[in-house]
Amino acid sequence: MSDDTLNGAEQAAGPAFTVEKVYIKDVSFEAPGTPQVFNEAGQPQLQMNLNQRVQRLNETAFEVVLGVTLTCTVADKTAYLAEVQQAGVFGLTGFDDQTLDAMLGTHCPNVLYPYARQAVSDLISAGGFPPFLLQPINFDALYAEGLRQRAQQGGLADTEAVGNA
């Protein structure tokens, strides 16, 4: 048997990532001040919140839900509130725990974000407001910050445990 055949078999048994399904899990749009808000003068203020949930479905499948909430206020009145829970089922096999955590925290949200971005944009336009396109997000940087915070909290927990001893 040639070395090429062995290398091919080893590669096939290596880590694998698949996108099984992408779907909207929940969506909401509210425009409580319409139609008066359309005549409000002032600069709109936008606030965006992101969140992510991961659920293990079986040994190799994970559901990742990326939540995007966009709130627009004009003159301290809510013009609109758009919420999208964009979800996907991902197959991940052959990853060590640290790489698996990184894949779920960076790669999966990178796959989901364009879908969530389009859904938010469509909701806002359908609500009668000017088109709005969410800016790209660096999920690698967000993940790194989350790791830093977890490490810091772990360090604080260790310090507190020592202080209580």
Structural domain includes residue 139: yes
The dihedral of CA 107, 109, 113, 114: what is its sign?
A: positive
Do residues 27 and 86 lie in contact, with contact meaning Cβ atoms separated by under 8 Å?
A: no
**Mean pLDDT across the chain:** 87
Residue numbers of the domain that contains 138: 26-144
Length of the chain equals 165
CB atoms within 10 A of CB 58: 7
- Top pLDDT among 87 and 149 is at 87
Q: Which residues of 103-113 are buried (b: 16+ CB within 10 A; e: fewer)?
A: bbbbbbbebbb
Distances (CA, A) of 31 to 70, 109, 130, 133: 12, 27, 13, 18
Give the pLDDT score at 123: 96
CATH code of the domain in which 51 resides: 3.10.420.10
Structural domain includes residue 134: yes
Give the pLDDT score at 6: 45
The tens digit of pLDDT for each residue in 129-140 reads 988 889 999 999
Q: Which residues contact 2 (CB under 8 A, 6 or more apart)?
A: none
CA gap 26, 86 in Å, rounded: 7
CA gap 8, 25 in Å, rounded: 38
Structural domain includes residue 162: no
Structural domains of the chain, count: 1
Question: Both tokens of residue 131?
Answer: 């088109």
Give the pLDDT score at 7: 47
Average pLDDT of the segment spanning 81-109: 96
Do residues 75 and 41 lie in contact, with contact meaning Cβ atoms separated by under 8 Å?
A: yes
Burial of 124 (0-12, 13-18, 19+ CB in 10 A): buried
Average pLDDT of the segment spanning 153-160: 56
Structural domain includes residue 6: no
Structural domain includes residue 149: no
Structural domain includes residue 11: no
Rounded to two decimals, what is the model's pTM? 0.82
Average pLDDT of the segment spanning 26-55: 93
